[in-house]
């Protein structure tokens, strides 16, 4: 059987591989993405979801965190959030100037605050609005554009067909599909059949997303016929994962890092974050979102997480890590 790892053609860009590191709010700013590039080589990685209002009306805040690119990272997809075509058009021009390699619109976020603003997954039942939003991006940038959606899943909502039509008509360059309904938590199995529906319903490349964490789950996602895959949570705390998966698919061996090395990565991540945010306090607050992923194999993981919540300085945090990431 031929390898599913192939070059990925999206609009006017070609990437050497078809595995992407996806967007994760509270995690995927520049220090996280730099690590992904140091230890793997994804096709590209994504920013956290960036509100167009923040980008346009609080540019200082956006420039301090959301739109910063690390000189040592590869291509970046800027993910935007909006429900207003005009605002999105302006934001698209802005992130293109800032060096976005691709631009994605979030149409899957289930968070109440985002849905309440008419953005994220609330757009899924508004195919005409989605059409206008994609057009607003297409008309204001030369880089490939996409939307990232959830699916009908097991819900009563039906929108898969209409969204496929809107995405095709509006001329998106690719489509990212997370195989769950927005009401479904991560304990509900990903709907591969609905990802496959999109693969068959649209002519543009589809990127499959949901629960990819190892060789088996990677093969299962590629079996939908998707052109590429996107990794979410499994890439956090395992920046080497994409390289490991590619090695395994190619039947090459891969030397996993030791627990001590993983601890050093976590310290590096938080240190870089404190430089980016110019604040140890904010870096440690943000580290609460992702330390648990680094601590997957730590004995007394719960104990570690509880204690990290009490760290007020990077020095305390570093000392704590040295105590737990010891094997
Ligand atoms: C903490 C967290 C933050 C997320 N933030 C975003 C986001 O900003 N934009 C987005 O499109 N999806 C976001 N997602 C969804 C992921 O990108 C992905 O679709 C989902 O986790 C399923 O993939 P996985 O099973 O590989 O993790 C987030 C998920 C988590 C757990």
Please tell me the distance between residue 100's alpha carbon and the centre of ligand 1 in angstroms: 20
49 lines ligand 1 (CB under 6 A): yes
Give the model's pLDDT for residue 2: 83
**Do residues 326 and 304 lie in contact, with contact meaning Cβ atoms separated by under 8 Å?**
no
Query: How far is it, in rounded angstroms, from Cα 254 to Cα 246?
Result: 9
Please tell me the distance between residue 1's alpha carbon and the centre of ligand 1 in angstroms: 31
Q: What are 175-198's pLDDT values in tens digits?
A: 999 999 999 999 999 999 999 999
224 lines ligand 1 (CB under 6 A): no
Quick one: what percent of the chain has pLDDT higher than 70?
A: 99
141 lines ligand 1 (CB under 6 A): no
178 lines ligand 1 (CB under 6 A): yes
Query: How far is it, in rounded angstroms, from Cα 289 to Cα 53?
Result: 24
Of the pLDDT bands very low, low, confident and very high (cuts 50, 70, 90), residue 98 is very high
Instruction: Inform me whether the pLDDT recorded for 110 exceeds 90.
Output: yes
Give the model's pLDDT for residue 252: 94
Q: What are 215-231's pLDDT values in tens digits?
A: 999 999 999 999 999 99
Nearest Cα residue to atom 26 of ligand 1? 232
Query: How far is it, in rounded angstroms, from Cα 309 to Cα 130?
Result: 40
User: Which residues are known to be catalytic?
Assistant: 109
Q: What are 26-70's pLDDT values in tens digits?
A: 999 999 999 999 999 999 999 999 999 999 999 998 988 999 999
Give the model's pLDDT for residue 318: 97
Instruction: Inform me whether the pLDDT recorded for 327 exceeds 90.
Output: no
- 22, 102, 103, 120, best to mutate for ligand 1 pocket (most atoms within 8 Å of CB): 22
23 lines ligand 1 (CB under 6 A): yes
Q: Is the pTM of this model over 0.85?
A: yes
Mean pLDDT score across all residues of the chain: 97
Residue position matching structure tokens 């591969």:
192
Mean pLDDT for 275-304 is 96
Instruction: Inform me whether the pLDDT recorded for 139 exceeds 90.
Output: yes
Give the model's pLDDT for residue 1: 64
Please tell me the distance between residue 314's alpha carbon and the centre of ligand 1 in angstroms: 27
* HSE-up (13 A, CA, CB side) for residue 149: 29
Please tell me the distance between residue 323's alpha carbon and the centre of ligand 1 in angstroms: 30
Contact residues for 179 (Cβ-Cβ < 8 A; gap 6+): 151, 153, 190, 191, 192, 194, 195, 208, 209, 210
Instruction: Inform me whether the pLDDT recorded for 298 exceeds 70.
Output: yes
**Do residues 145 and 103 lie in contact, with contact meaning Cβ atoms separated by under 8 Å?**
yes
């Amino acid at each position: 059987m031929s390898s599913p790892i192939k070059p990925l053609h999206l609009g006017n860009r070609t990437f050497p591989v078809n595995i992407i590191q996806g967007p994760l709010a509270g995690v995927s700013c520049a220090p996280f993405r730099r690590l992904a590039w140091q230890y793997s080589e994804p096709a590209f990685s994504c920013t956290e979801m960036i509100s167009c209002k923040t980008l346009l009306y609080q540019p200082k805040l956006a420039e301090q965190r959301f739109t910063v690119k690390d000189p040592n990272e590869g291509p970046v997809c800027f993910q935007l959030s909006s429900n207003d075509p005009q605002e999105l058009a302006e934001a698209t021009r802005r992130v293109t100037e800032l060096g976005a390699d691709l631009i994605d619109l979030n149409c899957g976020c289930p968070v109440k605050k985002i849905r309440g603003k008419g953005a994220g997954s609330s757009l899924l039942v508004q195919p005409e609005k989605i059409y206008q939003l994609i057009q607003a991006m297409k008309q204001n940038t030369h880089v490939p554009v996409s939307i990232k959606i959830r699916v009908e899943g097991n819900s009563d909502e039906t929108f898969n067909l209409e969204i496929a039509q809107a995405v095709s008509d509006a001329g998106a360059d690719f489509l990212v599909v997370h195989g769950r309904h927005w009401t479904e938590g991560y304990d509900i199995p990903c709907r591969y059949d609905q990802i496959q529906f999109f693969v068959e319903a649209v002519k543009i490349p589809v990127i499959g997303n949901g629960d990819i964490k190892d060789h088996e789950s990677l093969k299962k996602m590629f079996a939908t016929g998707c052109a590429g895959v996107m990794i979410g949570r499994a890439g956090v705390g395992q920046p080497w994962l994409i390289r490991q998966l590619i090695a395994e698919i190619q039947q090459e061996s891969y030397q996993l890092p030791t627990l001590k090395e993983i601890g050093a990565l976590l310290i590096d991540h938080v240190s870089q974050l404190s430089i980016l945010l110019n604040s140890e306090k904010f870096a440690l607050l943000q580290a609460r979102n992702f330390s648990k992923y680094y601590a997957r194999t730590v004995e007394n993981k719960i104990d570690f997480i509880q204690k990290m919540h009490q760290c007020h300085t990077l020095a305390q945090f570093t000392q704590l890590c040295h105590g737990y990431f010891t094997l």
